[in-house]
Structure 1
Amino acid sequence: MPLTLTFTEGVLPIGEEKQAVAQITEAMLKWHGLAGNKVMTPNITATVHVLPKSATFSGGQEFSGAWVEWKTPSFAFTDREVQQGFFTEATDIIHELSGGKQPKDQIYVNVVHAVDGAWNMNGRAMTNTEIGAAIAQG
């Protein structure tokens, strides 16, 4: 499940990006009841993008933002309690790692779902049912 973190330069102190990846990954696993799952944990990957302020915008104007985006199979993040809990926790993680400087209303969290069957694990396309069976093994 790829996690993409995008920050305007200066939102997080240099080096805190790794902590953000670790904490947000842990939160995602926790909210889905998968903490410690040996199948799911290594299948959570992440990329971090740090952009200059001249490349991040709100309302067409330069600003400093933070974006947390997951790409997941369509069964993830479907429970409203999971959505609310994870989104709040992810926002709090970024806010705290920024030293309290990044306003929570400038931290954005979203989820993009894949079409059932269009998810690759272990080198093959898997359906939601197949992924669920693999996760149940871990």
Structure 2
Amino acid sequence: MPISIQLSQGLLTPQGEREVFPQVADALLAVHGLRGNAFLAPVVIGHVDIYPEGTSYAGGQAQSLAVVEVKIPAMTFPEQSVKAAFVDAVTDIIDRLKAGDHPRARTFVNVTYTVDGTWGIGGKAYTNEALGAAIAAAA
């Protein structure tokens, strides 16, 4: 499940820049009750991109910005409560790791769903049903 974390330079502490991805990945698994799942843990992948000062914009002005985007199978986040828990957890992670003043209002979390049957891992295209079976088998 690819996670893309885009941050303004200086938004997080140097240690925070190293810790943000593992914490967001853990939050994704935790809200689904899947921490330690042998199938999912290795496929929660992604990047942390740091953008130079003055190149992140909110409201047309150069400002600190945190954008966390997750691409997931359509079966993920089955209930609004799970979605809300993830958004809140990710925003809390940014707040804990920030280097200075960065308002919660400039932390954005976006989830994009894939089309059923197009979730590919290691050359295999999984349907939602097949993916669910693989996750359950690895529990």
Tell me the TM-score normalized by structure 1: 0.94
Deviations 1:105-128 (A, max 9, x none): 111111011111111013211111
1:54 is displaced (CA, Å) by 2.6
Structure 1 residue runs of 5 or longer lacking an equivalent are: none
Match status 1:105 vs 2:84: no
* Aligned residue in 1 for 2:58: 58
Aligned length: 138
The 5 A counterparts of 1:123-138 are 123-138=123-138
Identity rate, percent? 37
State the distance in 2 between where 1:100 and 1:37 align.
35
1:1-138 matches, cutoff 5 A: 1-99=1-99, 101-138=101-138
RMSD: 1.2
State the distance in 2 between where 1:90 and 1:113 align: 18
Residue segments in structure 2 that go unaligned for 5+ positions in a row: none
Whether the 8 Å CA contact 1:8–1:51 is kept in 2: the answer is yes
For 2:33 and 2:112, how far apart are their aligned partners in 1?
20
**Regions of 4+ moved over 4 Å:** none
Deviation at 1:36, TM superposition (A): 0.7
Aligned-pair CA distance for 1:45: 0.2
Q: How big is each residue's C-alpha offset from its partner over 1:37-64, in whole Å with a ceiling of 9 and x where there is no partner?
A: 0000101001011001332111222111
Listed one character per residue, the Cα deviations across residues 79-132 of structure 1 (whole Å, up to 9, x for unaligned) are 111111111111001111015632111111110111111110132111111111
